[in-house]
Structure 1
């Protein structure tokens, strides 16, 4: 059950950081308009889309289940389709997409939302290598819902949005990771003098 979009650049690539920074995704006003219009139709099936996205994600990239404690050992995809926990998580992700779409006219608000999501993913131990897969599976899930309204231009718009958000999530993840390393370094350097004092 593959999707023809795997080569569209949403899935993580092995490129240098410099190259990926040069190719920063740019959301045009046309992209924003198309995303907003299509979202009106997509949101009618929001719970269904959320489940499809994650069942497909676990089917095409089973290694992603390692990040999800509740689904780690579930091999039966049918059981996943009817899982209340998966439905709830799918709805949370769809809610984030909904918030992203609502902030498309105020990109600074979308930026802070995506960076914060990346930070929280560091705390959940969900590494950036998986982020691009969600966008790919989302596009595969919504294409049949939109039928003839789905166009190459609309696909490009959604792809750009997911690349934009994913880049910011990676930034947030890295910031949180660096802060955690700094606090660990500061914490351990504070402990050393105390140990010397107790030894005296």
Structure 2
């Protein structure tokens, strides 16, 4: 057990579980474990979201650069009471809640993660940060679940986050390519005028 961020890094996704079939490794027992643990976790989602992001900024201060509203806040205690951070933490927890609810609907879950990746491209939030959030989530929930936290439950959550971050990365790349093609498209280029007389 522990909070090994490198185990969840996107560059390890291909090696450990395969890109498209990471969720296939979540068997029904793991899905049930995630759902049962979520029932306990969801009572503290506002607090958990803040804990998760404060920990993220402690362990990876460069992540603050993505957040315009509090990138210059140096005092992590001030961040604990920051309304914008609380709101963002709740949005992340809402995404996790939707993901847990869709564990039996992989097509919908993939679509949700891909769309989130597209949105993150628009905010210039690099995929290298995605796995950090999953790792900090795992670290933050351990004290809440106490003796209910097991190695098997940790592996189930890691697999879920690996799956989500893989599809978020797909969405990020799709949006990046779409934006790049939109700029390169002839219809979007300024019309060249014939200046020859």
TM-score normalised to the size of structure 1? Answer: 0.90
> What residue number does 1:196 align with?
193
- TM-fit CA distance, 1:22: 3.5
1:58 aligns with 2:57: yes
Q: Which runs of 4+ in 1 moved over 4 A?
A: 17-21
- Residues 190 and 75 (structure 1 numbering): CA distance in 2 closer, same or farther, change over 3 Å? closer
* Distance (Å, rounded) in 1 between the aligned partners of 2:18 and 2:157: 20
The number of aligned residues is 194
CA RMSD of aligned residues (A): 2.1
Tell me which residue corresponds to 2:162.
163
| Bigger mean CA deviation after superposition, 4-13 or 147-156 | 4-13
- Residue 125 of structure 1 aligns to a residue in which SS? coil
In the TM superposition, residue 120 of structure 1 has moved relative to its aligned partner by: 0.4
- Summarize the alignment of residues 100-179 of structure 1 with structure 2, pairs less than 5 Å apart: 100-179=99-178
| 1:78-130 Cα deviation digits (max 9, x unpaired) | 00001111111100000000000011111111000000000000001001000
Alpha carbons 1:12, 1:133 under 8 Å: kept? no
Aligned residue for 1:126, secondary structure, equals coil
Aligned counterparts of 1:111 and 1:149: Cα–Cα separation in 2: 28
Following superposition, the deviation at residue 60 of structure 1 comes to 0.3
Secondary structure of residue in 2 paired with 1:196: coil
Following superposition, the deviation at residue 198 of structure 1 comes to 6.2
Contact 2:102 2:108 in 1 (8 A): yes
Q: Distance in 2 between matches of 1:113 and 1:131?
A: 15
Aligned match of 2:8: 10
Q: Once the 2 structures are TM-superposed, how far is the Cα of residue 20 of structure 1 from its aligned partner?
A: 6.7
Alpha-carbon distance between aligned partners in 2 of 1:199 and 1:51, rounded to the nearest angstrom: 63
TM-superposed deviation, 1:167: 0.1
Provide structure 2 residue ranges, at least 5 long, that are not aligned to the other structure. none
1:124-166 deviation per Cα after TM superposition (whole angstroms, max 9, x unaligned): 1001000000000000000000000011000000000000000
Matching of residues 89-100 of structure 1 within 5 Å:
89-100=88-99
How far has the Cα of 1:196 moved from its partner? 2.3
Contact preservation (8 Å) 1:12, 1:130: no
TM-score normalised by L of structure 2 = 0.91
8 Å contact 2:5–2:131 — kept in the other structure?
A: no
Distance 2:169 2:51 in 1: 24
**Gapped regions of structure 1 (runs ≥ 5):** none
